[in-house]
Amino acid sequence: MSWLYAIICIVLVFAGVLGACAYLIWIERKLAARVQDRIGPNRVGPYGLLQSIADGLKFVFKEDVIPAGADKVLFVVAPTISVFTTLLAFSVVPFGPVPASGNGFPFGIAPYVDIGIIFVFAVTSLAVYGIILGGWSSNNKYSALGSLRSSAQVVSYEVPLGLSVLGVGLLAGSFNLDSVIRAQTANTGMRGFFDWYIWCQPLACLIFFSSSLAESNRLPFDLPECEQELVGGYHTEYSALKFAMFFLAEYTHVITVSFLTAILFFGGWHLPWIAEAGSVYFGSALVKVLVLLAKVGIIISFIMLIRWTLPRFRFDQLMNLTWKVFIPLSLCNLLGMMIVKQYDLSRWWMLLFSIVLVVLATAISLFLSHFGPSVARTQSGVGQAASLPGR
């Protein structure tokens, strides 16, 4: 029966992700309209519910243009790589309670992979090839520049993204995503609620979530698509279905990131008194699936609100944030987690440690922003004076 369950999960995941992407676009357009005091889609179908289907049909029937000087093979392969890697990463993500014995519906295509988190990072890191090939094969200088800048962003933010989850791996003793959920559901009631890793790894959650936004090209990290500077980024020359595939890959990545955030830091399908490890009432498995989907929906809605709230970073700010802020903070957070585990200290020390780290980082940032330019000007003036004749 395992092969049959795998086929059912593949169909559910594939159909669910594609359907979710279609209507997440409608939700984001409606949410953006609310933020901007507009109405949003309301013409195609009741409340505009068929607008996403109309947009999909437009992509299908739109003329598919390939530039004359483009490398046609790589030009077609690039969006395929982006979609394939994002869908493949979802294969190890459980969308419900996984039976510990292996008997029963697994609620995931491959939920028993012990290196599930590492597999997700390894597969999603391959998406950078789609970005590079898409820009380079277009034979467009703007696309090539966009692909180089985008690849630098994606590769840079993979470092803090990976470092941020090492503390979770130390706490759970495994990189299996189902094991991470079970480690957060050992207790019942409010004790189980405070076992969620968000309480002892808030800084790691912040770094992971922010780096994930950069990986999925969402604001304020959407430099790969900033049309004001690069006409459209690495996908300037794409149209019709191939452009839709890049768009689909982005939204699929958002769904995967939301699932990982809910699983790693917010207890997965756990909810006190309603969905716990010992819940065996009729329909409890379905309730756990709905709880996890509700958490994912809240995170996706938050990502959408960020898009219409924060302005885009400049590229130098983007790179400084990861190399000068996120990576040092994630290393310090990992060091603190190792000390807590080594000396068997309470997890709550990590909450205090995270607060102290954030306060110190903020103080250093404010100090450098206020006194850094004046110090640099002073040093520059001293250097110029020393270089004058007779001094």
- 16-23, Cβ contacts within 8 angstroms, sequence gap of 24 or more: 17/87, 17/90, 17/252, 17/255, 18/248, 20/251, 20/255, 21/248, 21/251, 21/252, 21/255, 22/52, 22/53, 22/56, 23/49, 23/52
Residue 201 lies inside a defined structural domain of this protein: yes
Residue 275, strand partner residues: 271
Q: Where are the alpha helices (DSSP H) in the chain?
A: 2-35, 51-61, 72-89, 116-124, 127-137, 141-164, 166-172, 177-183, 189-193, 202-215, 227-230, 240-265, 284-307, 315-320, 327-342, 348-387
Residue 37 lies inside a defined structural domain of this protein: no
| CA proximity to 2, closest of 161, 126, 112 | 112
Q: At what angle do helices 202-215 and 240-265 cross, to 10 degrees?
A: 170
Using a 10 angstrom Cβ sphere, with 0-12 exposed, 13-18 middle and 19 or more buried, the burial of residue 170 is middle
Residue 188 lies inside a defined structural domain of this protein: yes
Residue 25 lies inside a defined structural domain of this protein: no
What is the number of structural domains in the chain?
1
pLDDT 10s digits, 207-236: 999 999 888 888 888 877 665 565 667 888
Could you give the 3-state DSSP secondary structure of residue 302? helix
Mean pLDDT of the chain: 85
C-alpha–C-alpha distance, residues 284 and 329, integer Å = 39
Q: Band of the pLDDT at 387, cuts 50, 70, 90?
A: low
Residue 28 lies inside a defined structural domain of this protein: no
Q: Is the pLDDT of residue 100 over 80?
A: no
Instruction: Give the CB-side neighbour count of residue 336, counting CA atoms within 13 A.
Output: 25
Q: Is the pLDDT of residue 382 over 60?
A: no
Cβ atoms of residues 350 and 200 within 8 Å = yes
Using a 10 angstrom Cβ sphere, with 0-12 exposed, 13-18 middle and 19 or more buried, the burial of residue 296 is buried
Range from 68-72, 96-100, 110-114, 224-228 carrying the lowest mean pLDDT: 224-228
pLDDT 10s digits, 11-57: 888 888 888 888 888 999 999 999 889 988 888 888 888 888 888 88
pTM: 0.89
Residue 331 token pair = 């290393």
Instruction: Please tell me which residue, 293 or 225, carries the higher pLDDT value.
Output: 293
pLDDT of res. 226: 67
Residue 359 lies inside a defined structural domain of this protein: no
Q: Amino acid identity of 122? A: A
Residue 389 lies inside a defined structural domain of this protein: no
Residue 7 lies inside a defined structural domain of this protein: no
Dihedral angle, C-alpha 58, 59, 61, 63, nearest 10 °: 120
Largest CA distance in the chain: 91
Percent of the chain scoring above 70 in pLDDT: 92
C-alpha–C-alpha distance, residues 320 and 297, integer Å = 31
Range of the domain at 214: 58-345
Question: What phi and psi values does residue 59 have, to the nearest 5 degrees?
Answer: -65, -35
C-alpha–C-alpha distance, residues 173 and 167, integer Å = 10
| CA proximity to 347, closest of 89, 102, 97, 172 | 172
pLDDT of res. 391: 44
Residue 351 token pair = 């909450």
